[in-house]
């Protein structure tokens, strides 16, 4: 049985006992629009209510990426124009992230290729997270004057050691082995076997459960390499456990080797305000009771980021003028006023309905 419905940039298909959700903006690396968020939410509702669907598989069209994140140009335009799109997008995206984390059926995310920002939200909250040799996973938000959202402040503090702090502050991508080591993925499958994986899931009985999916994934999985984060876990722990960004940078300066030097160099190119905000959100996320608490805190910060000059400057430099040379204000960590961060921690009104 192959019943297919097209909802704009999302293709929804029932294949055997598998419900397939395919992000269909390959030229834009499947970056998410509000319409896509809504289409995915509808598909999840439909599949949850369909007794013939045993598993749900989410994947990206094209061979370059699963999902590069939210459509930040649209968020930029919404903020500049003071429209409701940005807030609506974040509210519905965060509700979707929570729905994925609590979904009633086995949810399989195929994070093949570029998986960043909102793509991590679509994948890493799922019950079964698959990466490939082509995966490049990152939360790159400090490079655009933003901060890791989509529940990253719940996920990243729970990564091995301080790997999540490294990922959040640097914004650098990691490959499959380190994504698994960080707890953001479960298994590595060769990209050429993904179609076989989907067909195998489609052939599973209607009563299949998570342990059955795990058996399929184990049968097709590869042994992941030990990536640079795993190789430098002790250094990362020493440098990134500190309570301030300045202390982290000082610790990195005291470490020998290219890894520490490169990490420090990259951090110094990021928005100082974003670095301070991100570290504070991560530390509060570590103490949070659940994902919902983190998502609500992130939403409050999102609403304030629309009033931040660095947000607009970062997106200008990255995707509008593409000069890759943002002029952050303030320029240095020393100039960031801690009191200026307080509005980012005002609870959203109304809170998310989760």
Span 331-345, average pLDDT:
97
pTM of the predicted protein model: 0.96
Looking at residue 39, what is its pLDDT?
A: 97
Looking at residue 3, what is its pLDDT?
A: 44
pLDDT tens-digit series, residues 90-101: 999 999 999 999
pLDDT tens-digit series, residues 12-35: 999 999 999 999 999 999 999 999
342 is an active site residue: no
Mean pLDDT of the chain: 96
149 is an active site residue: yes
Question: Own/partner pairs for 313-321, CB < 8 Å, 24+ apart?
Answer: 313/145, 314/143, 314/144, 314/145, 314/146, 314/271, 314/274, 315/72, 315/73, 315/75, 315/76, 315/144, 315/145, 316/76, 317/144, 318/72, 318/143, 318/144, 319/72, 319/73, 320/73, 320/76
Catalytic residue, candidates 16, 60, 69, 70? 70
222 is an active site residue: no
Looking at residue 275, what is its pLDDT?
A: 98
Catalytic residue, candidates 141, 162, 276, 310? 141
Q: In terms of residues, how long is the chain? A: 354
Catalytic residue, candidates 9, 13, 71, 149? 149
314 is an active site residue: no
Catalytic residue, candidates 79, 118, 123, 164? 118
Can you name the residues that pair with 107 across neighbouring β-strands?
Answer: 56
């Amino acid at each position: 049985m192959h019943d297919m419905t097209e909802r704009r940039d999302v293709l929804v298909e029932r294949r055997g006992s598998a419900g397939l959700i395919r992000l269909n903006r390959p030229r834009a690396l499947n970056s998410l629009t509000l319409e896509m968020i809504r289409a995915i939410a509808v598909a999840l509702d439909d599949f949850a209510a369909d007794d013939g669907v045993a598993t749900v598989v989410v994947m990206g069209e094209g061979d370059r990426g699963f999902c590069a994140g939210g459509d930040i140009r649209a968020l930029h335009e919404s903020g500049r124009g003071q429209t409701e799109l940005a807030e609506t997008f974040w509210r519905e995206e965060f509700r979707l992230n929570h729905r994925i984390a609590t979904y009633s059926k086995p949810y399989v995310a195929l994070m093949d290729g570029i998986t960043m920002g909102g793509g991590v939200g679509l994948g890493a909250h799922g019950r079964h997270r698959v990466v490939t040799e082509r995966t490049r996973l990152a939360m790159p938000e400090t490079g655009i004057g933003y901060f890791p959202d989509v529940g990253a402040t719940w996920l990243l503090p729970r990564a091995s050691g301080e790997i999540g702090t490294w990922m959040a502050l640097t914004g650098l991508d990691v490959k499959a082995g380190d994504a698994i080591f960080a707890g953001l993925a479960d298994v590595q499958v060769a990209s050429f076997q993904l179609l076989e994986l989907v067909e195998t899931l489609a052939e599973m009985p209607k009563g299949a459960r998570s342990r059955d999916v795990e058996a399929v994934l184990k049968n097709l999985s590869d042994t992941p390499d030990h990536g640079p984060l795993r190789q430098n876990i002790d250094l990362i722990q020493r440098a990134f456990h500190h309570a301030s960004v300045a202390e982290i940078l000082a610790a990195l300066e005291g470490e020998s080797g290219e890894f520490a030097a490169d990490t420090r160099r990259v951090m110094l190119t990021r928005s100082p305000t974003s670095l301070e905000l991100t570290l504070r959100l991560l530390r509060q996320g570590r103490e949070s009771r659940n994902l919902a608490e983190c998502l609500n805190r992130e939403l409050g910060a999102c609403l304030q980021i629309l009033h931040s000059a660095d947000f607009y400057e970062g997106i200008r430099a990255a995707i509008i003028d593409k000069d890759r040379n943002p002029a952050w204000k303030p320029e240095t960590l020393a100039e960031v006023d801690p009191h200026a961060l307080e509005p980012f921690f005002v609870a959203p009104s109304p809170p998310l309905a989760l």
